[in-house]
A = this chain, B = another copy of it.
Amino acid sequence: MSILIVGSLAFDDIETPFGQSFDTLGGSSTYIALSASYFTDQVELVGVVGSDFEDKHFDLLHSRNIDTKGIKKVEDGKTFRWAGRYHYDMNTRDTLDTQLNVFADFDPHVPEEYRDAEFVCLGNIDPELQLKVLDQISKPKLVICDTMNFWIEGKPAELKKTLEHVDIFIINDSEARILSGDPNLVKSARIIRAMGPKTLIIKKGEHGALLFHGEKVFFAPALPLEEVFDPTGAGDTFAGGFIGHIAKTKDISFENMKTAIIVGSAMASFCVEKFGTQRLREINKADIDSRIAEFVQLVNFDIELI
């Protein structure tokens, strides 16, 4: 099953308490696509890059069977750049620099052969552009959407318009509180789902993720890790594993979404182990299966004894 992914492609300068990494390939769609590529070989990317996005970067995506026909290369432009520094606790970070470059004029064009995509994953970009992408798709089976504080506060009306066309909305806990205006996450979930998305996933970083659907709620923890090396892209990697599992199994039931959240959490746990996308390019199916088995151990309990 094909997954169409729209989002940023970027070069990041990352500083953590453990070291620094420069000109690291990043961006929301890069992480989503790499993560999803472990579950289906029909991953299609729509985005924009500059002339500094070299063949080796395309090769990296192609090595994971990611289709890059939808990536527009602006020859006289530069790729989006982000620089950030993580604090000692690795949960908070400061953005040191943002250079939109070619991303400032991004006008997503979905290639003809992508328009029948069954699964659409809208990475964190301007909600108007997210809607523009949906307008070009014929009849997706499922639309997943991410966003960030910048759009919630800067373009609330546009975001709400986009949300009317979204099936699964993924945000973090502080974003949920801002968007809903309520500090309680259960109430937030109800308020946000009334804006359109039937299903809401609230990411809580190292504290796991909550899945809300109908009157049901499911919780997946993050794996307790001894070393968190670089959290950049963990949320996008989570989304990629989630949609990857859904596309692979062709099952959009609540029960299967639970499993997909565990798969996404497992993928995110790899992401943070090394700088940038490095770990996401090294792992194999056996690594993923064994990581998922760790999650089963982590949350499984025997209730028969009670």
Contacts and interface: CB of A to CB of B under 8 A. Distances in A.
A292 B303 contact: yes
Contacts of A183: 88-89
A186 B225 contact: yes
B224 A210 contact: yes
A245 B306 contact: yes
Interface in A172-225: 183-187, 204, 207-208, 210, 216-221, 224-225
Interface in A248-266: 249, 251, 255-256, 258-259, 261-263
Contact of A186 (B219, B224, B299): B224
Contact of A301 (B217, B259, B303): B259
Interface in A273-306: 289, 292, 296-303, 305-306
A225 B305 CA distance: 26
A288 to B, nearest CB: 9
Interface string A87-101: 011000000000000
A292 B302 CA distance: 12
Contacts of A258: 300-302
A299 B259 contact: no
A226 interface: yes
Contact of A302 (B187, B221, B259): B259
Contacts of A297: 216-218
Contacts of A249: 305
Given A207-B204, A218-B298, A219-B299, A305 B224 contact: no
Which 4 A/B pairs are nearest by Cβ-Cβ distance? A258-B301, A207-B207, A186-B226, A219-B221
Given A187-B226, A218-B298, 5 more contacts: A207-B207, A216-B297, A251-B305, A296-B303, A299-B301
15 contacts: A184-B226, A184-B227, A186-B226, A207-B208, A210-B224, A216-B297, A217-B297, A219-B224, A219-B299, A220-B299, A259-B303, A259-B305, A261-B301, A262-B303, A299-B301
